[in-house]
Amino acid sequence: MTTAADLLVSTLREAGVTHLFANFGSDHPAIIEALADDRERGVTEPAVILCPHEYTALSAAHGYAAVTGRPQGVFVHTDVGTANLGGAVHNAARSRVPVFIFAGLTPYTLEGELAGTRNTHVNHLQDAPDQHALVRQYVKWNYDIRTGRNVPQIVRRALQLAASAPAGPVYLTGAREVLAEHVPDPGIRATGWAAIAPIPALADVIENLARDLSQAEHPLIVTSYLGRRHGAMGRLVELAERFAIPVVEVNAEVLSFPRDHPLHLGDDPLPLLEDADVIVALDTDAPWMPAAARPRDDATIYVINDDPLQERIPLWYLPAHRVVRADAGVVLMQLLERTDGFQPDARHAARAAELRERSRAQRSAWTAEAAAELARGQLTPGSVAHVLAGLLDDDAVVLNEAISEAPAVWRHLPRRREGTLYGNRGTSLGWSGGGALGVKLAVGDRTVVSIVGDGTYFFGIPSSTFWVADRYRLPVLTVILDNGGWNATKRNLHRQHPGMTADRTDRYWVNLQQSADLPGIAAAAGNAWGATVTSADDLAGALRTGLARVAAGQAAVVSVRLEPISSQAEDAI
């Protein structure tokens, strides 16, 4: 005999879950006992990583899954722990990362009828009518363990769904009575629960796309997250070179194309749209915004994605000639096989030369811009990223959550190798706090650098983040672009009401005043090394020291004071 809780833990282990990012509560005694029994037997996996805040836990699991593709466990406490996951569930859903989330339910007996019965008043207060509703909009699947006898099958199904494209988080619950239930040990665990195999495109789609790309005068490939698929970047490079196709990474979440490649045309597709006659929107959900620009009327458009209609987004559409539900990495492989032996002509060579010069000029302009800012002694997102780029090797992993300044970081801190850039497709700010820890756990000795704004730094719950970093020896360098507020809010106000009262009088209510000791928060919570930079002359030295501290095993924070975005005084209270 064994307990349902033991079956839950052992099945996760057998399925390859190596870490539980946990914030345990009164609903988890049977699970804690199962883990303790494992340790007595010398079983050390899954390892428990305690997280003082649940947002940290899920963000870390998100970061780990982004690198490895493998789901990890996140254990939280009933309804309140689930609620504390907050926007991290949105982030995992929008970024399509597999995560297994488990939460207890309040006990369903009152008078000692079963082991685990209610024994404190909080058991009443945490009895929500529909706890699953807190996350149902964002998880792929949710369910409740009703008996210990089929726990292995339920856990395997959860992980299978989480890892199947489009991947995403799943949510499972179990009350104390069920977790403590003694049931026969099945002995042989359930097997045969593989994720759905990658889906290829139909043969006629490949035939037509290969023909259109070979004949196009002005082809264009736009992507945002092809790089989620291991090995896909190299295929995209080969295809782009074969047909002399420019590639644009719009709102890039991961690195999908080497930033110094001569066919890389930046992060803005709009200058190319008016000429493009064949456009492939490859693993992207917003290749362009129709309110800003749209393709020419006779352009042939292909949309290729695991979820090409973005079915979980209520208002979304992108008119196209072929909408293809397929694995983009497999589609690239199919295209390369179909066009093997293709011989480019003079037209392709001329286009390649033109694109090469256009890409060179673009990158030269960006470099000159950052160099000029540094020469003037200006601390800007671009100049900070430019200096940092000169200090990192090609294997270093960068997390870019600079939000309104993310494009500047993207342009001035180019990455070349697959798996060296990660972002958050979701919009709940602060992901990179815990996310960097999960990435560091996955990449081992490689350097991990997280770039955030000051507002994002606060959202990431740094007191929790740096406690975990210190406790589990997960040192990362966090670079804060401190512009004194939430610039994204200001920019949106300016776009919608330019020159009107709020814009004219500097009343945005976004001002964080640059008054907090941001590195000091990390030092107090997790013994991090920190520095605040106010002069361009001190920037490189502070970054070098931060990187050295990280290499020695200590987390580091460098906060760079930029020009403040607002000087609005607070309302009197």
Summarize pLDDT for 240-263 with one digit per residue, the tens.
999 999 999 999 999 999 999 999
Taking residues 443-447, report their average pLDDT: 97
Taking residues 373-387, report their average pLDDT: 96
In three-state secondary structure terms, 205 is helix
- Choose the weakest-confidence range: 32-36, 183-187, 529-533: 183-187
R_g of the chain, CA atoms, integer Å: 25
- Choose the weakest-confidence range: 295-304, 384-393, 441-450, 479-488: 479-488
CA-to-CA dists, residue 363 to 257, 356, 452, 501, angstroms: 15, 11, 23, 38
Parallel, antiparallel or unpaired: strands 300-305 and 322-325:
parallel
State residue 565's pLDDT score: 87
Architecture in CATH of 203-359: 3-Layer(aba) Sandwich (3.40)
pLDDT exceeds cutoff 70 at 188:
no
pLDDT exceeds cutoff 80 at 213:
yes
Taking residues 425-449, report their average pLDDT: 97
Provide the pLDDT confidence category of residue 518 given band limits of 50, 70 and 90. Answer: very high
Name the residue type at position 513: Q
Specify the CATH number of the domain 2-183. Answer: 3.40.50.970
Domain ranges of the chain: 2-183, 203-359, 377-561
Architecture in CATH of 377-561: 3-Layer(aba) Sandwich (3.40)
pLDDT exceeds cutoff 70 at 494:
yes
CA atoms within 13 A on the CB side of 283: 31
Provide the pLDDT confidence category of residue 185 given band limits of 50, 70 and 90. Answer: confident
Report the 10 Å Cβ neighbour count for 194: 10
Residue 130: which residues within 8 A CB-CB, separation 6 or more? none
Mean pLDDT of the chain: 96
State residue 570's pLDDT score: 87
State residue 100's pLDDT score: 98
